[in-house]
């Protein structure tokens, strides 16, 4: 890291205003990111935002889509198999990558889900990176997630 460059602020420009970042973890994270899979995931996310659908990755080439999916355009994700599955969904009010509107789109696609098997946790102060690097992530997210799994 170069002196005078605030990487925490750089990260915030992509992820939203993170409330609770542990700066020592940010340094380690930035030494290993971005990975090629993260880049492809970012492209995929932007495709879904642009199209307003929950669809598989668009290779933006009909032949390549045909190779992967057997059709010229990427198929929409079928959410029906998840209706009877236990799901824990946590999202943050400051997340710029999966913002509240995007999560509402996901929740709408899960409207037929068994309500007894779906837990939704909303963290108003959390942004995207907080889920991995927040100093309080264990208490705020991981402990409730582990408790959820123990009940299943």
The winner for highest mean pLDDT among 4-18, 27-41, 66-80 is 66-80
Give me the half-sphere count of Cα atoms (radius 13 Å) on the Cβ side of residue 64. 6
How many domains are there within the chain? 1
CA distance 139 to 14: 25
Residues making up the chain, counted from first to last: 152
Is the pLDDT score of 109 beyond 60? yes
Does residue 22 fall inside a structural domain?
A: yes
Contact 141, 90 (CB under 8 A): yes
- CATH number, domain of 90, equals 3.40.50.1820
Residue span of the structural domain in which 64 resides: 7-151
Does residue 44 fall inside a structural domain?
A: yes
- Condensed to tens digits (0 to 9), the pLDDT of residues 43-85 reads 998 898 888 888 999 999 999 999 999 999 999 998 888 777 8
Res 33: pLDDT: 64
> Residue 34: which pLDDT band, with cuts at 50, 70 and 90?
low
- Between helix 7-15 and helix 23-32 the angle, nearest 10°, is 70
65 or 99, which is more confident: 65
Does residue 119 fall inside a structural domain?
A: yes
Res 36: pLDDT: 62
> Residue 27: which pLDDT band, with cuts at 50, 70 and 90?
confident
Res 10: pLDDT: 67
Res 95: pLDDT: 93
Contacts of 122 (CB under 8 A, 6+ apart): 90, 91, 92, 93
38 or 97, which is more confident: 97
Does residue 123 fall inside a structural domain?
A: yes
- Chain mean pLDDT for the chain: 85
Res 49: pLDDT: 84
Does residue 1 fall inside a structural domain?
A: no
């Amino acid at each position: 890291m170069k002196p005078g460059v605030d990487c925490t602020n750089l990260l915030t420009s992509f992820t939203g205003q993170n409330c609770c970042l542990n700066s020592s973890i940010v340094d380690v994270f930035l030494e290993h990111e971005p990975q090629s899979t993260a880049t492809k995931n970012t492209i995929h996310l932007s495709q879904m935002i642009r199209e307003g659908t929950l669809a598989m990755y668009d290779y933006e080439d009909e032949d390549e889509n045909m190779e992967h999916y057997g059709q010229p355009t990427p198929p929409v994700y079928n959410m029906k198999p998840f209706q009877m599955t236990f799901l824990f969904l946590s999202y943050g009010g400051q997340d710029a990558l999966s913002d509240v509107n995007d999560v509402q789109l996901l929740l709408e696609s899960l409207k037929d889900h068994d309500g007894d098997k779906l837990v939704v946790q909303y963290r108003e102060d959390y942004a995207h990176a907080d889920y991995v690097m927040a100093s309080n992530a264990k208490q705020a997210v991981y402990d409730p997630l582990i408790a959820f799994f123990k009940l299943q």
